[in-house]
Chains A and B, each alone.
Chain A
Amino acid sequence: MSITRVNIGPIHPSTHGVLRLVVDLEGDTIENIEPHIGFLHRGVEKLVETRMYMQCPPYMEKIDYVAPMSVDELYVAAVEKAMGVEVSEKAQYVRVVLLELQRIASHLFWVGSICNDLGQLFTTFMWGFRDRDMVLHLLEIATGQRMFYVNMRLGGLSRDLPEGFGEKTLELMDYLEKRLKEYENLIEKNPIFVDRMKGIGRLSRGDAKEFGVTGHVMRASGLDYDVRSERPYYVYRKLNFRKQYHLSGDNLARYEVRIMEIKESIRLVREALAGMPEGSAAGMPIKLITPNAKNRIVMESRENPRGEEMIYLVADPQKPYRLSIRSPTFINLAALNHMARGSRLADLFSIMGTLDLVLADVDR
C-alpha cells in the first residue's frame, strides 16, 4: 500500500492552538506523525533575563493560559527559594486552596473540550464551561481577576482572602459534587464516548517512563508519581493528599484520572478551608523588595494541572541569569507519535485531546 501524507493545521479546531501535524497514513491507519511546533514561541526564557524578578510573573502566567496561577506560583516559589524567603502558614493554606480551585477550573475546561472533540457538541462543552466559570468567579472574588491574576508575592499573596470566601467556596464545592454525578451520567454512560475512548491510544507503563510523559498521562499508565504526594510542598502533607492513578493507560483511563483528581481537589479545598489558621496571608509589596538572591542555582517542581512543571533557575542578585522551564505538555506531545501510531486517523484527535495540550506551554 502506498503512503498518503495528510497535513493538519496549523489552524485546526481540534488542535486547541496553533499546532501543525504531518501525518503519514497507510489506508486509514497512522504510520507516523511529525508534529511541527513553535508557532507560539515567544522566547519567554530569554525575555525574563532582561527583567527584574517581580516583573516576570505576568510573562509566566501567559505560559499556561488555562491555569495561569499555577505557573505564576511555581515561579514565585523558585524566587522565594533563591532569596530564602519563608511563606507564612496562612499563606500556604490560601495558596493550596487557590491552586486547587485553579486545577478544578482547568480540568472542567478540559472535560468540556474533550467531549467537544468527540462530537458531543455543545451540551457537555457548555456544562464544563459554565461550571468552570463559577470557579473563575470565586478566583475573581479572591484576586480581582478572572484570568491572569498576578496575585503571588514573595512570602504570600497580594491580599488576604475576603470575608465570606470560605462559605461561598464550600457552597460551590457541594454544587460541583452534584454536577460531577450528572457528568458521569451524561458522559460515561454514552456508548459513543466510551467506544472512542476505551482501548484507544494505549501507553504502557514502561513506555510512559521511556518517553518521559508526566501528569495524568503518566498516572493513567500506572506510574503513580504525583509531586504533591512524593515531594509535598506547602501543607499537602497535612491534608493527607491521595494521588490518583489508573492501570490501563488508554484514553478512558486518562479521563478517569482527571475526574478522580477533580474529586480529590474538592476534598482538599474543603479540608484546607477547615484547617485554615488565623493570621495574614499578605506577602511583600512589590515596591519594598530589595532583591538579594542567595542561592545561585534553584530547582523547583510543582504538580500543575497538566503535569509536573519544573523551573531550573540560575539566580543573579537582581534578575534571573537563566530560567529554564520544563513544560509538561512539551514532553507529552513528544510522545504523541508513539501513542497514536497504528490507530485510525479519526482516533488521532481523541488521543491528542486526552493529552490536554496548551500550545503556549509547549512553545514557551
Chain B
Amino acid sequence: MKVERQALTEKVSVLKSEGFDYLVKITAVDYVSHVDAIYIMRNMDKNVDEVLEVEMDPSDLWLPTIIKHHASADWYERELSEMFGIEIKGRHARRLLLEKWDGKGSPMRKNFVWGEPYPKS
C-alpha cells in the first residue's frame, strides 16, 4: 500500500487500532530515481501482514518517526538514517548505531562510493 509520508504517522496509528500492532521491520530500497521506505506491520490474530511503501525524492529524504506507536521502531529508524541518510523527524538524534567509522556518504545508497581496498604489502 502506497502512503504519503505526511500521512504516515496517522496511517500507522489507524492500522494499530485495527490490530496491526506488531512491527516486523522497517527497511528502504534505493531505486535511484526515488527511495522507498518499507514498513511491514503484522496483525497476529488474523495472521496477515500490511506493507506500507513511502516514496521519497532522493534530494529530500526525511520521514516522520513512528516511535510513539511502536517502541520497536527505535533501532530500525536509526539504522535507516545511518544507512540511507534519511532524516527521521520528531525524535532525538542519536549516535551511529552500526558503523564505527566517520566516513562520508550513506553506505546502502546506490551512489555510495566504495573505498579503496587495503593495499597489499
Q: Are B100 and A39 in contact (CB under 8 A)?
A: yes
Across the interface, do B25 and A312 meet the contact criterion of CB distance under 8 Å? yes
Contact of A330 among B29, B70, B75, B99 (CB under 8 A): B75
The smallest beta-carbon distance between A245 and chain B, in angstroms, is: 13
Query: Roughly how many angstroms separate A364 CA and B27 CA in the complex, as a whole number?
Result: 14
Which chain A residues border B24 with CB–CB below 8 Å?
Answer: 212, 308, 310, 326
Shortest CB-to-CB span from B87 to chain A, Å, is 20
Q: Residue A45 at the B interface, CB < 8 A?
A: yes
User: CB distance B72 to A211 under 8 Å?
Assistant: yes
B107 near A: Cβ within 8 Å?
A: yes
Contact of A38 among B23, B29, B30, B98 (CB under 8 A): B98
Give the bracket for the number of chain B residues in contact with chain A.
20 to 34
Kindly supply a per-residue 1/0 record for chain B positions 52-78, scoring 1 wherever the CB is within 8 Å of any chain A CB and 0 otherwise.
Answer: 000000000000000000111011000
Segment 66-121 of B: residues with Cβ below 8 Å from A: 70-72, 74-75, 96-100, 107-108, 112
Q: Is A322 part of the contact surface with B, judged by Cβ < 8 Å?
A: yes
Distance A54 CA – B36 CA, assembled complex (angstroms): 26
Measured CB to CB, the closest approach of chain B to A321, in angstroms, equals 8
Instruction: Chain A residues near B71: list those with CB within 8 A.
Output: 210-212, 338
A212 to B39, CA, bound (A): 13
By a CB distance below 8 angstroms, the chain B residues around A334 are 72, 74-75
Per the bound structure, the CA–CA distance linking A37 and B82 in Å amounts to 13
Bound-state CA distance A92–B100 (Å) is 41
- Docked-complex contact B72 and A37, CB < 8 angstroms: no
Q: How far is the CA of A308 from the CA of B108 in the complex (A)?
A: 23
Chain B contacts of A326 at CB under 8 A? Answer: 24-25, 27
Nearest chain A CB to B71's CB is how many angstroms away? Answer: 5
Inter-chain contact A38/B70, CB cutoff 8 Å:
no
Q: Determine the chain A residues whose CB is within 8 A of the CB of B72 once the complex forms.
A: 210-213, 331, 334-335
The reply to whether B44 and A209 form a contact with Cβ atoms under 8 Å apart is: yes
The distance from the CB of A214 to the nearest CB of chain B, in whole angstroms, is: 9
A41-B44 contact, Cβ under 8 Å, with A212-B23, A212-B72: no
A41 close to B99 (CB less than 8 A): yes
Whole-angstrom distance from the CB of A27 to the nearest CB of chain B? Answer: 27
Is residue A230 contacting chain B, with contact meaning CB distance below 8 A? Answer: yes
If A312-B27, A334-B74 touch, whether A46 touches B108 (CB-CB below 8 Å) is yes
List A residues 211-257 near B (Cβ within 8 Å).
211-213, 223, 225, 230-231
Alpha-carbon distance A331/B38, docked complex (angstroms)? 17
A343 to B27, CA, bound (A): 33
Interface centre among A213, A225, A322 (most CB of B within 10 A): A322
Given contacts A312-B27, A330-B75, contact A212 B99 (CB under 8 A): no
List the A side residues contacting B27 at CB < 8 Å.
312, 324, 326
Docked-complex contact B70 and A210, CB < 8 angstroms: yes
Task: Give every chain A residue within 8 A of B96 (Cβ-Cβ).
Answer: 38
> Which among A210, A213, A231, A312 is the interface contact of B38 at CB below 8 angstroms?
A312
309-337 of chain A: CB within 8 A of chain B: 310, 312, 314, 321-322, 324, 326, 330-331, 334-335
Q: A210 to B70: give the CA distance in the assembly, Å.
A: 6
A363 within 8 A of B: yes
Known contacts A41-B98, A312-B27; decide if A209 and B108 are in contact (CB<8 Å): no
Tell me the minimal C-beta distance from A40 to chain B in angstroms: 10
Minimal beta-carbon separation of B103 from chain A (angstroms): 12
- B108 pairs with A45, CB closer than 8 A: yes
- Counting chain B CB atoms within 10 Å of each CB, which of A225, A314, A334 scores highest? A334
Q: Could you pull out 10 A-B pairs where Cβ atoms are within 8 angstroms?
A: A37-B97, A38-B99, A41-B99, A209-B22, A210-B70, A210-B72, A211-B72, A212-B72, A321-B29, A326-B27
Q: Which residues of B line the A interface, CB within 8 A?
A: 21-25, 27, 29-30, 38, 40, 44, 47, 49, 51, 70-72, 74-75, 96-100, 107-108, 112
Q: A38-B96, A212-B23 are in contact. List 14 more A-B contacts (CB 8 A).
A: A37-B98, A41-B98, A43-B107, A45-B108, A46-B112, A209-B21, A211-B71, A211-B72, A212-B22, A212-B71, A310-B40, A312-B25, A324-B29, A331-B75
